[in-house]
Amino acid sequence: MSVLVVVEHDRGTMTPASLGALTAGRNLAKQINTTLEAVTVGANADALSDAISAYGATTVHQAHHAALVDFGPEAWGESVAQVVRKSSPQVVIGCGTERGHEVIAQVAARLDLPASMNCIEFDASFDGVQPLRMTRARWGGSLLENAQLDASIKLVTLANHTVEPVEAPTPTNIAVINVELDASVMHSFVRDRVERVAGVTLATAPVVVSGGRGVGSAEAFGPLEELAGLLGGIVGCSRAVTNNGWRNHTDQVGQTGTRIAPDIYIACGISGAIQHWVGAMASKNILAINTDREANIVTKAGYAVIGDLHKVVPAISEEIRRRRGL
């Protein structure tokens, strides 16, 4: 009996999402009066046990197999499934990340159990035995669902950034389990990698200047590029823009694009559809530049300029240059 957290790591480096999952797992374990346990996949993650111990796991199950060197969704799913069979947890929590969802889905499929992804809250009256009620994010977070998970073992992922990591050190037992993996799960390992060239990305930029359909063409993004450059920021866009082929999808903000959290988001000629908004709403400040005072983005933003972006954006760049004496 336990709450088991699947620790996500990349070749031995723990991902930040794991700490939130461990913290949520510890809270839930306390609620149902059981222990927090964790599972790591691959011997290259053995060294993480100290860090996991700092978050209150009383046991770390270390799944070992010679093939477990890099990430592979099927081998990881099968490994975790074997740990679950052996340790019979009441709840299994994975990270609400690409790998996290994929591994929990694999575990669910292999154990024929239901799974609830992107949970943001668990029912405070859950006793460990009854069905688990939770709130989970749907529509990329535009909508929430109250749901009930009825299963002997409850499989969930925790939506990323919903629980602040808090340490609570405890002595930890190590339980090595030599998992058995057959050829069927060996195909999907990472075979090669291409490292990103360093630089600001949409996800981490302090300033994002985004354009929507109102920009009108690929060329008309020039003034937005210029403004972003002056502010040490980066250009983003809406799906209307990527659909028109004006910019690459890597620039798209939203449900099916990137989620951003800059100090300021400058949204030019973007209406603020809900699927765009969910990607931008974590921004610390939002400035909308739009001809339509009633546009959704204008009513939701902290600041707005009403006007034609083709005139307003160059005027802002000009004013910046003027104050810098350029």
Nearer to other proteins, 56 or 223 (CB): 223
DSSP-derived letter for residue 252 is B
Please choose which of ligand FAD, other proteins, none residue 151 contacts, taking the beta carbon within 5 to 8 angstroms, the exact cut-off set by kind.
Answer: other proteins
Residue reference for tokens 């799913």:
77
Bridge-based pairing state of the strands 2-6 and 132-138: unpaired
Please choose which of other proteins, ligand FAD, none residue 170 contacts, taking the beta carbon within 5 to 8 angstroms, the exact cut-off set by kind.
Answer: none
Nearer to ligand FAD, 116 or 242 (CB): 242
In angstroms, give the least distance from the CB of 292 to ligand FAD.
4
Please choose which of other proteins, ligand FAD, none residue 217 contacts, taking the beta carbon within 5 to 8 angstroms, the exact cut-off set by kind.
Answer: none
Nearer to other proteins, 195 or 219 (CB): 195
Please choose which of ligand FAD, other proteins, none residue 128 contacts, taking the beta carbon within 5 to 8 angstroms, the exact cut-off set by kind.
Answer: none
For 18, the enclosing helix (H) or strand (E) is: helix 16-31
Nearer to ligand FAD, 89 or 211 (CB): 211
Q: How far apart are CA 287 and CA 77, in angstroms?
A: 43
Bridge-based pairing state of the strands 154-159 and 59-64: unpaired
Q: How far apart are CA 222 and CA 281, in angstroms?
A: 25
Token readout for 321 is 């240059």
Nearer to other proteins, 196 or 219 (CB): 196
Please choose which of other proteins, ligand FAD, none residue 281 contacts, taking the beta carbon within 5 to 8 angstroms, the exact cut-off set by kind.
Answer: other proteins
In angstroms, give the least distance from the CB of 165 to ligand FAD.
28
Residues near ligand FAD (CB under 6 A): 212-214, 238-240, 252-257, 269-271, 273, 275-276, 279, 289-292, 295, 308-310
In angstroms, give the least distance from the CB of 247 to ligand FAD.
11
Q: How far apart are CA 22 and CA 164, in angstroms?
A: 10
Q: Is 49 helix (H, G, I), strand (E, B) or coil?
A: helix
Q: How far apart are CA 67 and CA 230, in angstroms?
A: 49
Collect all residues with Cβ–Cβ distance below 8 Å to 4 and sequence separation of at least 6.
25, 37, 38, 39, 61, 83, 84, 87, 89, 91, 92, 93
In angstroms, give the least distance from the CB of 301 to other proteins.
6
DSSP-derived letter for residue 131 is P
Residue reference for tokens 């973007």:
270
DSSP-derived letter for residue 129 is S
DSSP states along 228-245: HHHTT-EEEE-HHHHHTT
Nearer to ligand FAD, 85 or 249 (CB): 249
Please choose which of other proteins, ligand FAD, none residue 222 contacts, taking the beta carbon within 5 to 8 angstroms, the exact cut-off set by kind.
Answer: none
In angstroms, give the least distance from the CB of 184 to other proteins.
7
Please choose which of ligand FAD, other proteins, none residue 212 contacts, taking the beta carbon within 5 to 8 angstroms, the exact cut-off set by kind.
Answer: ligand FAD
In angstroms, give the least distance from the CB of 38 to other proteins.
21
Nearer to other proteins, 50 or 263 (CB): 263
